[in-house]
Amino acid sequence: MERLWAPWRMEYILNEKPEGCIFCLKDGTGRDRENLLLYRSEHSFVMMNRYPYCIGHLLVSPYRHLSDLSNLTDSEMLDLFATVRLSCNVLTAKFSPQGFNIGLNLSKMAGAGVEDHIHMHVVPRWGGDTNFMTVIADVRIMPENILDTYDKLLPGFRDENCITS
């Protein structure tokens, strides 16, 4: 019998779930790596998905706790999408994906895990990155530790080439 190891899963099962909104806990107290927070712009920020679909799965969210796109100001909307673009630039520079899935799940009925704070998923994709493990066993295979991925992506969010391209 083959064994499939997912050591991060026990951390997910046993850890206390934070009270409140996970997107409102990003207070800038020097815990960015612990919180997987990669970048802050004027109105939004980028964090890694702690339980990703694939390597490099990012979440981009406005600071304000909003559940509806219509409540974003024009400045917040522009900043949010500029930050999504930056996320794609960094992922392209660091991992050379062949495409992206970018999306919002607005409301529980649309699949939102955190339904009352808007956030966009930025998921890099490669040819052949979906296999029977995800489809049959609801298992995702991650090729490296999430903090190693964080350490690879972080410099890209400070790289002028990624920011301006």
Q: Catalytic residues, which ones?
A: 119
Kindly calculate the radius of gyration of the chain based on its CA atoms and give it in whole angstroms: 16
CA dist 64 and 24 (Å) reads 8
DSSP three-state, residue 47? strand
CA dist 165 and 163 (Å) reads 6
Cβ atoms of 114 and 23 within 8 Å: the answer is yes
Q: What is the DSSP letter of 18?
A: P
Main-chain dihedrals φ then ψ at residue 26, nearest 5 degrees: -90, 80
Cβ atoms of 53 and 100 within 8 Å: the answer is no
The alpha helices in the chain, defined as continuous H runs, are: 8-14, 32-35, 74-95, 132-137, 146-153, 160-164
